């Protein structure tokens, strides 16, 4: 098993490049598999969730080449409609194969997905959405089986403006007969990215980025070439790491408009924020002030930046509160922060952070992708050495984590066996 050893107490300074969006890549790679054709995707991050999806699609018959940054998918041979349990169980986005297979072949057998342990995370909304497109859907023995001779367009209200449901519905409905209207759709930049790519493939999607998305189905999609949008969650993580260490970090390539809620909160906490055409820079200027933060679907404060924000707020003066409204139990990281001396407690859906704490290095684990990032941020700001286990959770979502942190002046060493496996 691998661990990360971080010697804290150094201010992070300098510039790093933002990676391509993980969540966007997962949706867009799945979209590419809708066409019996070849697509080339640029700016795909080399992280474990992406390689897992690659392996799933290969098991379904696609041929994929993945070199740093560029993924080429040839989905002509994708003829298997049953997704493998052992790969799907580890990742929620594996469920996009349900929308792809249903849209392309009219039948799908996909295991109920796994993923980060941050709440129940069922797929009931997705299933209701497929049913609204005329599919017959049953769940038995841990698998979802869905079938339709031909999907037909329909009206669907997306509960809780679910990101994954909106994505899966765009995938399936792109190949349905007739027009689908999604109300209360998710509005994330990654939804827009996916819709833009699908339209390049020949789909007819309007309204992505608003809460009403209209999809006119088509009989056939073709391959295309596309560059994935930058990862606002990865970029935000480095900005928060810079802030927590009293540093000065520029995340190059980050799109400021995608993180307005984060930047507003950072300014409120007393940090200097410089959004520009080259990226986003955040500089510590003195004491960090406590904050009240509510997570919310985009354009609200991203739930995927909640744990990292909490880690930074352990260094802020006063009592901060973060109310988690998207996932019901995204709090495992708080146990790890407490081991490092943070004064953090969870009450219902709210995390209370009293600061500033004098954090000290300790053996801890990365409980999930973003919870792991929170632990890394605390370790960077702590006195002494922190050893982080379960690094595989960080590798699911962060490309080249220790390289980027080292570039910013951190002391980080990975111990243990080789890094993530090459796919393709």
**Are the C-beta atoms of 283 and 312 separated by less than 8 Å?**
no
Supply the minimum distance, in Å, between the C-beta of residue 417 and ligand UD1: 26
Which two three-digit tokens encode residue 317? 């003066």
| Residue number with CB closer to ligand UD1 (89 or 92) | 92
Site for ligand UD1 in 14-33 (CB under 6 A): 23, 26
CA distance 46 to 43: 9
Print the SS3 string covering 281-341.
EEECCCCCECCEEEECCCCCECHHHHHHHHHHHCCCEEEEEEECCCCCCCCHHHHHHHHCC
State how far the alpha carbon of 383 is from the alpha carbons of 42, 76, 311, 361, in Å.
39, 54, 14, 6
Write the interaction track for ligand UD1 spanning residues 403-422; mark x where CB under 6 A is met and - where it is not: --------------------
CA distance 366 to 353: 19
Write the interaction track for ligand UD1 spanning residues 251-290; mark x where CB under 6 A is met and - where it is not: ----------------------------------------
Write the interaction track for ligand UD1 spanning residues 293-312; mark x where CB under 6 A is met and - where it is not: ----------xx--------
Supply the minimum distance, in Å, between the C-beta of residue 269 and ligand UD1: 22
| Residue 357 interacting with ligand UD1 (CB under 6 A) | no
| Residue number with CB closer to ligand UD1 (294 or 343) | 294
Q: Where does this chain touch ligand UD1 (CB under 6 A) — which range of 157-165, 192-200, 258-266, 346-354?
A: 157-165
**Are the C-beta atoms of 309 and 355 separated by less than 8 Å?**
no
Supply the minimum distance, in Å, between the C-beta of residue 387 and ligand UD1: 26
Supply the minimum distance, in Å, between the C-beta of residue 343 and ligand UD1: 26
| Residue number with CB closer to ligand UD1 (134 or 299) | 299
Q: What is the DSSP string of 221-280?
A: ----EEEPPB-HHHHHHHHHHHHHTT-EEEEET--GGGGHHHHHHHHHTT-EEEEETTEE
| Residue number with CB closer to ligand UD1 (37 or 226) | 226
Mapping DSSP to helix (H, G, I), strand (E, B) and coil, where does residue 404 land? helix
Supply the minimum distance, in Å, between the C-beta of residue 189 and ligand UD1: 11
Q: Where does this chain touch ligand UD1 (CB under 6 A) — which range of 158-166, 191-199, 259-267, 399-407?
A: 158-166
| Residue number with CB closer to ligand UD1 (77 or 122) | 122
Mapping DSSP to helix (H, G, I), strand (E, B) and coil, where does residue 3 land? strand
- Considering the candidates 33, 116, 332, 394, report the single residue annotated as catalytic: 116
| Residue 393 interacting with ligand UD1 (CB under 6 A) | no
- To the query of whether residue 88 is one of the catalytic residues in this protein, the response is no
| Residue 164 interacting with ligand UD1 (CB under 6 A) | yes
| Residue number with CB closer to ligand UD1 (124 or 220) | 124
Supply the minimum distance, in Å, between the C-beta of residue 296 and ligand UD1: 9
| Residue number with CB closer to ligand UD1 (114 or 119) | 119
Residues 6 or more apart whose Cβ sits within 8 Å of residue 365: 336, 372, 375, 388, 389, 390
C-alpha atoms less than 13 angstroms from C-alpha of 342 in its C-beta half-sphere: 34
Phi, psi of 344, rounded to the nearest 5 degrees: -130, 135
| Residue number with CB closer to ligand UD1 (48 or 126) | 126
Mapping DSSP to helix (H, G, I), strand (E, B) and coil, where does residue 401 land? helix
Q: What is the DSSP string of 72-138?
A: EEE-TT----B--HHHHTT-GGGGHHHHHHHHHHSEEEEEPP---SSS----HHHHHHHHHTT-EEE
Burial of 5 (0-12, 13-18, 19+ CB in 10 A): middle
Write the interaction track for ligand UD1 spanning residues 112-141; mark x where CB under 6 A is met and - where it is not: -------xxxxxxxx---------------
Site for ligand UD1 in 168-227 (CB under 6 A): none
Write the interaction track for ligand UD1 spanning residues 310-349; mark x where CB under 6 A is met and - where it is not: ----------------xx----------------------
State how far the alpha carbon of 93 is from the alpha carbons of 98, 261, 289, 416, in Å.
10, 25, 36, 28
| Residue number with CB closer to ligand UD1 (70 or 121) | 121
The residue within the footprint of ligand UD1, chosen from 92, 107, 283, 352 (CB under 6 A), is 92
Q: Where does this chain touch ligand UD1 (CB under 6 A) — which range of 156-164, 199-207, 343-351, 374-382?
A: 156-164
Site residues (CB under 6 A) for ligand UD1? 23, 26, 92-93, 119-126, 160, 162-165, 303-304, 326-327
Supply the residues annotated as catalytic: 116
């Amino acid at each position: 098993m691998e661990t990360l050893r971080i010697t804290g107490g150094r201010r992070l300074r300098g510039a790093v490049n933002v990676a391509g969006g993980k969540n966007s890549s997962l949706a867009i790679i799945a979209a590419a598999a809708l066409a019996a054709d070849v697509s080339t995707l640029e700016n795909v991050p080399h992280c474990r969730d992406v390689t897992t999806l690659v392996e799933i699609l290969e098991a379904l018959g696609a041929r994929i080449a993945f070199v740093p940054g560029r993924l080429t998918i040839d989905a002509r041979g994708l003829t298997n409609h049953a997704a493998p349990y052992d790969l799907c169980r580890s990742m929620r986005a594996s469920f996009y194969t349900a929308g792809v297979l249903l849209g392309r072949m009219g039948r799908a057998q996909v295991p109920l997905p796994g993923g980060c342990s941050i709440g129940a995370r069922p797929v009931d909304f997705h299933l209701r959405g497929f049913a609204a497109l005329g599919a017959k859907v049953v769940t038995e023995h841990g698998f979802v089986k869905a079938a339709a001779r031909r999907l037909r367009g329909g009206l669907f209200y997306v509960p809780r403006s679910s990101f994954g449901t909106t994505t899966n519905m765009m995938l399936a409905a792109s190949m349905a007969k007739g027009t689908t209207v999604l109300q209360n759709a998710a509005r994330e930049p990654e939804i827009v990215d996916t819709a833009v790519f699908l339209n390049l493939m020949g789909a007819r999607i309007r309204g992505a980025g608003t809460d009403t998305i209209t999809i006119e189905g088509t009989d056939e999609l073709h391959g295309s070439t596309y560059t994935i949008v930058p990862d606002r969650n990865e970029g935000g993580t480095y900005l928060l790491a810079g802030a927590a260490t009293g540093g000065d970090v520029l995340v190059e390539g980050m799109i400021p408009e995608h993180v307005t809620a984060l930047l507003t909160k950072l300014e409120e906490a007393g940090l200097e924020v410089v959004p520009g055409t080259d990226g986003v820079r955040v500089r510590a200027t003195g004491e960090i002030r406590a904050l009240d933060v509510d997570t919310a679907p985009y354009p609200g404060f991203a739930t995927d930046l909640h744990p990292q924000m909490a880690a930074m707020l352990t260094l802020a003066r006063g009592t901060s509160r973060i109310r988690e409204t998207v996932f019901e139990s995204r709090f495992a990281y708080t146990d790890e922060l407490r081991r490092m001396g943070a004064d953090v407690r969870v009450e219902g859906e709210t995390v209370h952070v009293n600061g500033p704490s004098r954090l000290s290095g300790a053996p801890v684990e990365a409980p999930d992708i973003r919870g792991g990032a929170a632990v890394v941020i605390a370790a960077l700001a702590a006195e002494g050495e922190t050893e982080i286990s379960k690094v595989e959770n960080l590798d699911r979502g962060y490309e080249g984590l220790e390289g980027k942190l080292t570039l910013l002046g951190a002391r980080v060493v990975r111990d243990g066996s080789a890094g993530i496996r090459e796919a393709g």
